[in-house]
Amino acid sequence: MLKTIILTLLFCFVIFNSSSLSQVSIKTVKDAVHSGEEKMQGFIGLYHNSKGTIYGGWGWTEGEVIQHAFNFGENAIISQASYYGYTFAANIDSNCINWDVNKVYGMLRPPSEAGVVNQPGDTALLQPFAALPGMIQGALRFSELSKKFPQISGLIIDDFFENYRQKLTINNLDLLDIKDALLGKSVDNSGNVDHTSKATTPNLKLYVVVYNRQLDFSVDKQDSVLNFIDGVIFYMSYQNETYKQFDDYIDTIKQVYPGKDIIAGVYINNSHELMKPDGIHYVIQKSIDLYDKGSISGLLIFSAPWLTQQYITSTRWDSLAIPPFLDSVYYPYIGEAAGKVIDAQSGQPIQNALVTIQRLNNQNPLIISKKFTHNTGEYSFGVWAGKDSVITYEIKAEATAYAPKIMDVQLQAGKKIVLPDIQLQSVTGVLNEKDNLPVMYSLNQNYPNPFNPSTEITYSVAKPGLVTLKVYDLLGKLVSTLVNESKSTGNYTVRFDANKLASGTYIYQISAYGALISKKMVLLK
């Protein structure tokens, strides 16, 4: 029952290593951001989507499909044949292609929600079972789909603690099977997972739904769970009575689930009660404030049907007043950006280049979106620009046979911009296995990272020539030149000492053969 709230993008970018800000085309986002003409999106989304339509009012258009009306940026899709008017295949296509949202979460039905742990026949990629869908098979399904649709970032187990230790057992083997299937390890036709096989989608995350009534579980009791999950989706049971304790609940979650992603959830309705507008608005506002500070990773609304003409009355819609509320506290702080990835030599667009948008979230990187470029080399997205502070985003473009390239940008609320083209330099070759010499140059992630006060950076040189390795701060100011000399073919390691620098994020960049590779490192003192 997760609802993901996805962030809409707004950028007035200060771009590291670009020629000048004059290259950025800026447009003011229209006031009517909900008209369906704007991409918007952001970090608010739906736990369940629906083909239902809205009533309108407050300048919103009556009869619009809910996604078109709200332009949500993140949505959760259940591994089931169909749901609220969408087949599974149509839901995937709509989110990942037609709407091009920032992020998609898969969702599994556990046994308490009419699912089963293992359903050997449930193997069709785009046609899950309508009844008793398999959790292992669903995890593998989203792993395979993420290779085509990189917006798919993880998987949610609904009602987790209603099943854990009873129907999700034994000694965590069920949970291990689900997690490894999600990571893309080999699964045979009977649903047996080869835990020794290679993970083909190692970056996908596993989330579990947690309710406030379950927060009295001790850390020791949940310690085994902590080894498997990457984050929690938090909903408040009896939201009408408990919503003002939201901040306290979030603080408790941080203690019980240290270092895990937290995605907030807000009920419009559930099986216990009809939610009051005051509580709904309160949780949304608090979630926005926490997201702005980098304390949570998103917000999911439960659920789309309870905002549609097909399930509620116009009186209920008017009393909820969610459109004018979001017009006041959310949409004004969203912006959009569009860009293109091209070949630096030919100027031709690069199709299916992977573009990753990342925010540094309290020193922990938060991936906002991953998506492939279109056949024109273009990409676009919308994110939270920041309300009380400036947020720095990193845009990374990479493609087969090209050196990756990174731009750092800062957003400004209410702006829609066109970014300078990201020009990728082609590189060819692989490691020469005979003598272990590189036939292309590369730059590895520093280690340790974060570091204090020094770290090591390794790089490879394919052929003799001038190599430079420099370190910059996020404003683009050069803080150190580590290498500036001719190097012969080989692998190298250099130590970076940051004793005299302040804590923060720095960019190190290697230049060789007219191409650049950049990476980020974090100094924590």
CB 4 within 8 A of CB 263: yes
Q: Is the pLDDT of residue 217 over 70?
A: no
The pLDDT of residue 391 is 81
Mean pLDDT of 54-76: 95
pLDDT per residue as tens digits for the range 140-157: 999 999 999 999 999 999
Nearest to 95, CA basis, from 144, 45, 134 = 45
**Summary mean pLDDT of the chain:** 85
Alpha helices, DSSP H, located in 259-368: 277-293, 314-320, 322-329
Q: Is the pLDDT of residue 328 over 60?
A: yes
CA angle 212, 216, 220 (to 5 degrees): 130
The pLDDT of residue 276 is 97
Range with the poorest average pLDDT among 105-119, 328-342, 468-482: 468-482
CB 376 within 8 A of CB 35: no
Task: List domains and CATH numbers for the chain.
Answer: 6-49+60-333 (3.20.20), 335-424 (2.60.40.1120), 442-523 (2.60.40.1930)
Integer Cα distance of 305 and 54 in angstroms: 10
The pLDDT of residue 25 is 43
3-state secondary structure of 511: strand
pLDDT per residue as tens digits for the range 87-132: 999 999 999 999 999 999 999 999 999 999 999 999 999 999 999 9
pLDDT per residue as tens digits for the range 12-61: 333 333 322 234 444 444 444 444 455 678 999 999 999 999 999 999 99
Segment of 143-157, 159-173, 375-389 carrying the highest mean pLDDT: 143-157
Nearest to 11, CA basis, from 516, 420, 473, 517 = 420
DSSP 8-state class, residue 64: -
The pLDDT of residue 259 is 87
Q: Is the pLDDT of residue 1 over 70?
A: no
Q: What are phi and psi of 135, to 5 degrees?
A: -75, -40
